[in-house]
Amino acid sequence: MPAPSAPIAPRALILRAPGTNCDHETAHAFEAAGAIAERVHINRLIENPALAARYQILCFPGGFSYGDDIAAGKILANRLQHHLADLVQEFALGGRDSLVLGICNGMQVMMRLGILTRGVTADGDETVDDSGPMGDDPHVPATLTWNQHGRYEARWVHLAVDPRTPCVFLKGIRRMYLPIAHAEGNFVAASADMLDTLAARGRLAVRYCGEDDSEPLISEEPLEFPLNPNGAMANVAGVCDPSGRVFGMMPHPERFIDPTQHPFWTRMEQPADEGEGMAIFRNAVGYFA
């Protein structure tokens, strides 16, 4: 029997900027899932935006881009807006069949750009106007602000995927256990109506949840710390655009690729074959199969 021809591996652009610091392990995770991952400095793209044409996946990795000075992710978003708006537009707004993933600082950047919350107004109305998010002066109707307790926090959290979500990255995943490490991860929407609209469309794609199934996995009421580690409205840990191809999350899936990254793997008689974060990268690669 002839061997099935291997699907062509998608190429992932891991965007690097001053202060990015999760680019290596994120590239490693994409490669473990079968993608070809390349770490590219933002200055290379500004010099030559056409470089991006060879990639199917755009990834904003974690870190402290530009020190998170002013606000987390703000300056990188500002730079993208003023120098690479077309490029982001093309990946994010369906110029072609592509995926965008932001992790932690990457999600913060995407929130500041408005590409995660696009299509919904501050009042919760849905719009089809796609020019807004990457405009010169985006009025982003939601934000990631300081953690409720006012500190940077590193800890593992339980996550549930909203079954309604169109998110490509979360296909087939029900729940996950992953680490967070951030100071500004507290999701705040401008209004309850806006939150409702996003929720109804499954765009509040991944939520902090309880450690077992005794409570509903998806809860609009904020859970207590530390289950909800930052006080996010509706326990939001990740948000996607209407298409589900553009997704940002605060937890770090690239930090749970190997079973020994689990915080108490030494208790397990038989640790899993791979970490729970792998599924997200496999979904990304699988999308292009």
Partner 1 sequence: MPLWQIDIYPADGFIDREGQRVAEQIRELGLGDEIEVDFSRGFLVEGDLQTAAVERMAESLLSDRVTERVVVAMTGDESLAEPPGDNPTLVHVLPKPGVMDPVAQSAEAAARDAGWPVAAIRTLRKYWLPELSEDRLAAICRRALSNDSVEQVVVGPLELTQLRFDGRYEFSLVVVPIRELDDEGLARLSKEGQLYLTLVEMQTIRDHFRSLDRDPTDIELETIAQTWSEHCSHKTLAGRIHYRGPSPDGRPGGDERRYANMLKETIFAATQHLRASAGEDDRCVSVFKDNAGVVRFDDAYHVCFKVETHNHPSALEPYGGANTGLGGVIRDPMGTGLGAKPVCNTDVFCFAPPDTPVDSLPPGVLHPRRVINGVVAGVRDYGNRMGIPTVNGAIYFDPRYLGNPLVYCGNVAMLPVGMEDKQVEEGDLIVALGGRTGRDGIHGATFSSAELTSESESLSGGAVQIGNAITEKMVLDVLLQARDRKLYNAVTDCGAGGFSSAVGEMGEELGAEVWLEKCPLKYEGLSYTEIWISEAQERMVLAVPPEKWQSLRELCESEGVEAAAIGRFVGTGNLTLTYHGHHVGELAMSYLHDGRPPVVRDAVYEPPEFVPLDPPKLELESANQILADILGSLNVASKHWVIRQYDHEVQGGSVVKPLVGPRCDGPGDAAVVRPLLDSRRGLVISCGMNPHFGDFDTYHMAASAIDEAVRNAVAVGADPATIAILDNFCWGYTDRPETLGSLVRAAIACQDVAIGLGTPFISGKDSLNNEFSYLDESGTKRSISIPPSLLISAIGQMDDIGTAVTMDLKSAGNAIYLVGDTHEELGGSHYSLVTDQPGGQVPRVNISLARCTFTAMHQTIQRRLVRSVHDLSEGGLAAAAAEMAMAGRLGISLDVSELDAAGDPLSDAAKLFAESNSRFLVEVAPDRQAEFVETLHQANVPVRAIGQVDSSDRVRISIADKQFIDQEIETLLRRWKNPLNW
**Could you give the residue numbers annotated as active site?**
104, 252, 254
Least distance from partner 1 to the Cβ atom of residue 94, Å = 25
Query: Of these, 41, 164, 171, 175, which contacts partner 1 (CB under 8 A)?
Result: 41
Helix axes 74-83, 105-113, angle to 10 degrees: 50
Is the torsion defined by CA of 175, 272, 179, 40 positive or negative? negative
Task: Work out whether 1 is an interface residue with partner 1 (CB under 8 A).
Answer: no
Amino acid making up residue 41: H
Question: Cα(45)–Cα(36) distance, rounded to whole angstroms?
Answer: 18
Task: Say if residues 166 and 248 touch (Cβ distance below 8 Å).
Answer: no
Task: Work out whether 192 is an interface residue with partner 1 (CB under 8 A).
Answer: no
Binding mask 257-276 for partner 1 (x = CB under 8 A): xx-xx-xx-xx---------
What's 267's DSSP letter? G
| Residues in 236-255 at the binding interface with partner 1, rule: CB under 8 A | 252, 254-255
Question: Cα(82)–Cα(2) distance, rounded to whole angstroms?
Answer: 51
Task: Work out whether 22 is an interface residue with partner 1 (CB under 8 A).
Answer: yes
Task: Work out whether 75 is an interface residue with partner 1 (CB under 8 A).
Answer: yes
Q: Is 131 helix (H, G, I), strand (E, B) or coil?
A: coil
Least distance from partner 1 to the Cβ atom of residue 134, Å = 13
CB nearer partner 1, residue 132 or residue 138: 138
Task: Work out whether 281 is an interface residue with partner 1 (CB under 8 A).
Answer: no
User: What are the residues whose beta carbons fall under 8 Å from the beta carbon of 26, sequence distance 6 or more?
Assistant: 14, 37, 59, 61, 62, 103, 254
Is the torsion defined by CA of 273, 216, 166, 250 positive or negative? negative
CB nearer partner 1, residue 140 or residue 279: 140
Question: Cα(234)–Cα(238) distance, rounded to whole angstroms?
Answer: 11
CB nearer partner 1, residue 106 or residue 141: 141
Q: Please give the residue ranges that form the binding site for partner 1 (CB under 8 A).
A: 16, 18-22, 24-25, 28-29, 41, 43-44, 62-64, 66-71, 74-75, 78-79, 81-83, 137-143, 145-146, 150-156, 179, 181, 188-190, 252, 254-255, 257-258, 260-261, 263-264, 266-267
